[in-house]
Amino acid sequence: AKPDRIAVACDHMGIDRKRQLIEMLQQLGHNVHDHGTYSAERCDFPDQAACVGQAVSSGAADWGLLVCGTGAGMSMAANKVAGVRAALVSDTFTARMTRRHNNANVICIGSWVVG
């Protein structure tokens, strides 16, 4: 099977966690496209959510991963993109189940919540 194409983005509160997740996903063999943000400078999370949402919706990415402080804002913003089914998760069980039972195609994580 070919590696998944994963679109990843964060706001200024999720940079460190995003970098950790990208490294992990790449080590697992996935193709990761980083949609930003790239600095700790304050930014608007809906912009990053829209980039990942469009990548998933258009088929450019198989899955999306978004990180902000709580994950809630990213989840709400991503779900405004047609074809996106974003879920806020804070543990592996919820992540697995929301994919299996709810067909989520974007996972949203809170950097303040997930350790």
How many beta carbons lie within 10 A of that of residue 74, not counting itself? Answer: 32
Nearest alpha-carbon partner for 109 in 88, 86, 79: 88
User: Active-site residue 101, yes or no?
Assistant: yes
Q: Is 55 helix (H, G, I), strand (E, B) or coil?
A: helix
According to DSSP, the residues that pair with 5 across neighbouring strands are 31
Active-site residue identified among 10, 35, 51, 68 = 68
Token pair of 5 as six digits? 């194409």
User: Active-site residue 43, yes or no?
Assistant: no
- Catalytic residue numbers, as ranges: 68, 101
